[in-house]
Amino acid sequence: MPAPLVGAVPEPAAAPLIAAPFAAPFAASFAAVSARAGMALLLAGALALAGCDKPKEAAPDVRPVRLMQLHPAAGQTAFEFSGEVRPRVESRLGFRVGGKIAARLVDVGASVRKGQPLARLDPTDLALAEQGSRAQYDAAKTDSDLAASDLKRYNELFQRGFISAAEQHRRQATYDAAVSRLQQAEAGLRNQANQTGYAVLTADADGVVTAIDAEVGQVVTPGQPVIRVAQTAEKEVAIGLPEDQVEMLRAVGDVTVHTWAEPDRRLPARVREISAAADPVTRTYPTRVSVPNPPADLRIGMTAVVTFLRTGETAAIRVPLTALLQDQGRNLVWIYEPVRTDGKADGKVPVESARGTVRPVQVTLGEAIGNDIVIRQGLAPGQTIVTAGVHLLKEGQAVKPMQSVSPSTPVAASGGGPK
């Protein structure tokens, strides 16, 4: 190819493939897509940077708990048993003679005095029998008087020698027989008079009517119970002792009784009787606890609680049943360990700044006393335990006491020992 000439004009460039009218719209669309892609990349980058930040830790779960500080009793354990106030003597009174009840003079709950009439029988037949006995007595009295007069006359004749000794002995025998018949008639009359008196049923002691077993119009036999009267001179409480505590409580001398109506009034008592055989239904041993000189307002049928206060050789620690947690056959109690959060060295810590943790301790249980139970091993005096919400805790759980606490005594003393 020959070399181009110097100063020659270059050839024009080739024409574009897309015509000018169509090139402008295509360029605008491409710019818009590029802008959207850039924004998406910026957003993805921001999210990626945000995902690299360290997540915030959740606030610890602090549970409110109710606490109690342990204090041992001075070797004393109280055993309480519910029972019923009963009279020591309750008589089922009945007529000594049979007959038809004509009147009932008392109702259930009435207070009666010794000798007070309670009921009456129809006295017609008894009155007739008494009249017959009195007639026999009168006849025997007449025969006795006549025999005495004859004996006196014949004794005078015998002294004068007008009759023999045999005749005098015969008159003496006649008189003796008449006297015996008179004594027999007198005894019969007295007996029949008593039978007539038995038609009136009377109270044999001061007491309270507890039941009526027969009503007016009913024919009763001799000795059939008609009215029950409980004597109020002596009252006692009937309870049942479990078989594993009979011998232990038999030797306890400090026994008191209080009623549900007046729980603060303690009445001295003593164990009068412990049955030698267990009740076939309850499998407890029936026990009677006597209350000497009972007050008038200690009424029969009231619910009472008998307390045996046993003094042992060692101190005892008692906790509420709500403080126990059973886990896989183990009996656990949560121990509270305070942690200071106010930075003070001493002084009382307000509730809002008191904190602590809990840890479980396995314990050995003793006897149950009401709503409490004795702890034989595992706890020590001065420790603080959780008494509510034990099933919601775990070892090392952060807790907040519901009472005011102090560094030396986490909670106020609350009488953890038995009474």
Binned at pLDDT 50, 70 and 90, residue 368 comes out as: confident
Same domain flag for 356 and 379: yes
Q: CATH code at 160? A: 1.10.287.470
Task: Please give the torsion angle defined by the CA atoms of residues 120, 124, 130 and 136, in that order, rounded to the nearest 10 degrees.
Answer: -170
d(CA 210, CA 207): 9
- Decide which of 373 and 352 is more confident: 373
Comparing 53-62, 162-171, 323-332, which segment has the lowest mean pLDDT? 53-62
Mean pLDDT along residues 300-321: 82
pLDDT of residue 192: 93
Share of the chain above pLDDT 70, in %: 75
Query: Residue 56 CA to chain centroid, in angstroms?
Result: 55
* Domain span including residue 397: 66-74+315-401
pLDDT of residue 79: 84
H and E: helices and strands count for the chain: 4, 23
pLDDT exceeds cutoff 50 at 140: yes
Q: What are the backbone dihedrals phi and psi of residue 339, each rounded to the nearest 5 degrees, phi first?
A: -130, 125
Same domain flag for 389 and 372: yes
d(CA 98, CA 398): 82
What residues contact 348, with CB distance under 8 A and at least 6 apart? 404, 405, 406
Same domain flag for 212 and 115: yes
Binned at pLDDT 50, 70 and 90, residue 18 comes out as: very low
Comparing 74-83, 165-174, 279-288, 292-301, which segment has the lowest mean pLDDT? 74-83
Same domain flag for 378 and 269: no
Q: What are the backbone dihedrals phi and psi of residue 200, each rounded to the nearest 5 degrees, phi first?
A: -110, 120
Same domain flag for 135 and 108: no
Q: Percent helix, strand and coil across the chain, each rounded to 5?
A: 30, 35, 40
Average pLDDT value for the chain: 80
Instruction: Read off the pLDDT of residues 320-348 as tens digits, 9 standing for 90 and up.
Output: 989 999 888 899 999 998 875 554 434 34
pLDDT of residue 37: 55
Instruction: Read off the pLDDT of residues 196-232 as tens digits, 9 standing for 90 and up.
Output: 999 999 999 999 999 999 999 999 999 999 999 998 8
Same domain flag for 116 and 203: yes
Mean pLDDT along residues 265-293: 93
Same domain flag for 319 and 396: yes
pLDDT exceeds cutoff 70 at 268: yes
pLDDT of residue 55: 55
Binned at pLDDT 50, 70 and 90, residue 381 comes out as: confident
Q: Quick check: is 20 in a domain?
A: no
d(CA 68, CA 231): 48
Mean pLDDT along residues 71-88: 81
- Cβ-contact 238, 82 below 8 angstroms: no
Count how many domains the chain has: 4
Same domain flag for 267 and 158: no
- Cβ-contact 288, 273 below 8 angstroms: yes
Nearest to 338 by CA among 322, 323, 321, 358: 358
What residues contact 405, with CB distance under 8 A and at least 6 apart? 67, 338, 348, 349, 351, 354, 356, 411
Binned at pLDDT 50, 70 and 90, residue 380 comes out as: confident
d(CA 5, CA 193): 183
Same domain flag for 227 and 263: no
d(CA 345, CA 338): 13
Neighbours of 325 (CB within 10 A): 16
d(CA 366, CA 216): 58
Same domain flag for 292 and 223: no
Q: Quick check: is 172 in a domain?
A: yes
Nearest to 234 by CA among 292, 305, 286, 303: 292
d(CA 141, CA 128): 20
Same domain flag for 391 and 330: yes
Instruction: Read off the pLDDT of residues 89-118 as tens digits, 9 standing for 90 and up.
Output: 999 999 999 999 999 999 998 999 999 999
pLDDT of residue 8: 44
| Domain C-terminal end among 231, 248, 279 | 231
The amino acid at 170:
R
pLDDT of residue 413: 31
Same domain flag for 178 and 279: no
